[in-house]
């Protein structure tokens, strides 16, 4: 049973508390990605220390390895992973639809071959709900057809219609309210289709609504435009989740539109590539300029990495290909995101989100492809 309580609002931005079977999470929140049941390089206790109580996993990955039955047999996803907070699982539709020739879509569901061993499998909306209930996740995402970019208007229309039919089947398939189910808005970059999908999905008795199919290669303008268009059309009282987003600047902007939940591989993946987040923007630890730099990554950061190690040491570990580089970088980046969301919640609470945003963008050097200033 999922409960969502909105605590404060500041224009369209809001703070809230999400209560599921395994705990609560303050919103707006960012969900660290634990694709295979572990946040790469980071321990659960470190996840908690950075302010997270809700993580994301992936049914497609868990289904292939270690298998839904195995997780069920060993007591469910929480016992198996020993993560004692909330878990949301993506259906893995995005991963399945990325398989290209290894995937065949029908009205009934999707046939696909494993990216691991080529074995044949089938996912339907009903099966995905069943898997999510079996392993006992707190929030399960429905199986949707993630519309690729670019796609024709026709394709996007058919795709969102199918996603809607699948959404209804997903709701029919539910057998327990221990696992909440979120619907997903599709429609590509077509405004009218997004409005249609938002209205259709909002009309169904979901526990929350996600905006899917963004951050899939479309221009930043479209991502911001669609998010700002769709978010206010979603039920006010339900949690709103912008899937796969994103950069710190994207999160700040989307919170202003009224989004409550985010997930992205960026903090951990960037960490493994040597890209670290600071209040002033990204920092490439591989750069020779940090060779003898004795400062921490970010002097205002209170993460384990910043409290203990210099840029010089972190650069050395990365150059020497030490696992510890990935670990320490990942801890920092996730902490940065955790603290960012904490600041966002505090700003909304104090009715100062607009000031916060202004200050954030005054300090943070956004990526070149960011269209924030063009909006």
Where does this chain touch a second copy (CB under 8 A) — which range of 50-58, 162-170, 192-200, 313-321? 313-321
Contact flag: residue 265 with a second copy (CB under 8 A): no
Active site residues: 90, 263
User: Sheet of 29-31: strands edge to edge?
Assistant: 29-31, 261-263, 240-242, 208-211, 180-185, 139-141, 86-90, 54-58
Residues 6+ apart with CB under 8 A from 234: 185, 198, 201, 202, 209, 240, 258
Contact flag: residue 203 with a second copy (CB under 8 A): no
The answer to whether 120 touches 111, Cβ cutoff 8 Å, is yes
Contact flag: residue 294 with a second copy (CB under 8 A): yes
Considering only 15, 57, 81, 197, the residue that binds a second copy (CB under 8 A) is 81
Secondary structure class of 237 (helix, strand, coil): coil
Considering only 16, 28, 32, 37, the residue that binds a second copy (CB under 8 A) is 37
Contact flag: residue 308 with a second copy (CB under 8 A): yes
Considering only 225, 310, 359, 372, the residue that binds a second copy (CB under 8 A) is 310
Number of C-beta neighbours around residue 84 at 10 A: 13
The answer to whether 330 touches 267, Cβ cutoff 8 Å, is yes
Considering only 12, 40, 169, 178, the residue that binds a second copy (CB under 8 A) is 40
Secondary structure class of 36 (helix, strand, coil): coil
Contact flag: residue 130 with a second copy (CB under 8 A): no
Cβ closest to a second copy, residue 79 vs residue 165: 79
Considering only 113, 286, 316, 352, the residue that binds a second copy (CB under 8 A) is 316
User: What's the CA gap between 17 and 261, in Å, rounded?
Assistant: 11
Q: Summarize as ranges the residues that interact with a second copy (CB under 8 A).
A: 36-44, 61, 65-66, 70, 73-75, 80-82, 291-292, 294, 304, 308-310, 312-313, 315-317, 319-320, 322-324, 326-327
């Amino acid at each position: 049973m999922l409960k969502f309580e909105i605590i404060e609002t500041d224009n369209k931005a809001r703070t809230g508390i999400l209560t599921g079977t395994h705990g609560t999470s303050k919103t707006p929140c960012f969900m660290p990605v634990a694709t295979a049941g572990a946040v790469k390089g980071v321990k659960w206790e470190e996840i908690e220390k950075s302010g997270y109580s809700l993580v994301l996993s992936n049914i497609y990955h868990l289904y292939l390895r270690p298998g839904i039955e195995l997780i069920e047999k060993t007591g469910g996803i929480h016992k198996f992973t020993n993560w004692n907070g909330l878990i949301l699982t993506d259906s893995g539709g995005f991963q399945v639809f990325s398989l290209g020739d290894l995937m065949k879509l029908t009205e009934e569901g999707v046939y696909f071959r494993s990216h691991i061993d080529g074995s044949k499998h089938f996912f339907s909306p009903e099966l995905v709900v069943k898997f999510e209930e079996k392993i006992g996740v707190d929030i399960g995402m429905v199986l949707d057809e993630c519309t690729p970019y670019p796609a024709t208007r026709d394709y996007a229309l058919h795709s969102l219609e199918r996603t809607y039919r699948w959404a209804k089947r997903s709701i029919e398939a539910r057998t327990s309210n221990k696992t909440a189910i979120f619907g997903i808005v599709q429609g590509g970059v077509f405004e009218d289709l997004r409005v249609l999908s938002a209205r259709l999905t909002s009309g169904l008795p979901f526990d929350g609504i996600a905006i899917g199919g963004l951050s899939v290669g479309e221009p930043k303008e479209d991502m911001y435009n669609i998010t700002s268009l769709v978010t206010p059309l979603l039920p006010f009282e339900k949690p709103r989740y912008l899937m796969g987003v994103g950069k710190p600047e994207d999160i700040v902007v989307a919170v202003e539109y009224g989004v409550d939940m985010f997930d992205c591989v960026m903090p951990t993946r960037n960490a493994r590539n040597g890209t670290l987040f600071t209040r002033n923007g990204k920092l490439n630890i591989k750069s020779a300029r940090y060779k003898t730099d004795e400062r921490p990554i970010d002097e205002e950061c209170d993460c384990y990495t910043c409290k203990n190690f210099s840029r010089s040491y972190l650069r050395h570990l990365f150059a020497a290909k030490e696992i510890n580089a990935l670990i320490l970088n990942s801890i920092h980046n996730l902490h940065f995101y955790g603290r960012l969301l904490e600041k966002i919640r505090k700003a909304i609470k104090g009715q100062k989100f607009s000031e916060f945003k202004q200050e954030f963008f005054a300090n943070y050097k956004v990526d070149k492809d960011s269209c924030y200033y063009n909006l």
